[in-house]
Homo-oligomer: A and B are copies of this chain.
Amino acid sequence: MKRSPAVRSLPPADDHAVRFARQREADRTATAEDYVELIADLLREEGEARAVELARRMGVSQATVTATVGRLQRDGLVETKPYRGLFLTDAGRAMAQAAKARHDLVVRFLIAVGLDAETAEQDAEGLEHHASEKALEAFARFVAKREAGGA
């Protein structure tokens, strides 16, 4: 008589479903986060955020930027002054600030864990959208320890 493998990697079905649902939710907000973060960066470092520059940096067509920015506007994150560039609402600024803090933390964490800076930047762009608050706290603790000369 053989016992079933003791390793049970399958959680209860509804717990399992919750994990995937959260992931889908994160995917849905990722584009908005990346756009507002970029817009904030451009406003800060270039003085303006033009749609054409977003298209270049996102690697996407200008038409796609128009459509996406339309959704961000609909969702109260962005305002546009035609031919004068893009601006953030208060909500947009708040999201951008949170996104940037998260992005920078993830980058520092990846570097602390041994990744080169360029790969860290690359990977952070995706990972940042899927780290929970708890994970970010753990990352922050780890980075603090490292940067305090803990090794």
Which residues of A are in contact with B by a Cβ distance under 8 Å? 2, 4-5, 7-11, 13-14, 16-23, 26-27, 30, 34, 41-42, 44-46, 53, 56-60, 104, 110, 113-116, 119, 121-123, 125-127, 129-132, 134-135, 138-139, 141-142, 147, 151
Residues of chain B with a CB closer than 8 A to A134's CB: 115-116, 119, 123
Q: Work out how many copies of this chain go into the complex.
A: 2
> Chain B's nearest CB lies how many Å from the CB of A7?
7
- Would you mind naming 7 contact pairs between A and B with Cβ atoms under 8 Å apart? A5-B104, A11-B121, A14-B56, A23-B125, A113-B113, A130-B130, A151-B151
A114-B141 contact given A19-B121, A57-B16, A126-B22, CB 8 Å threshold = yes
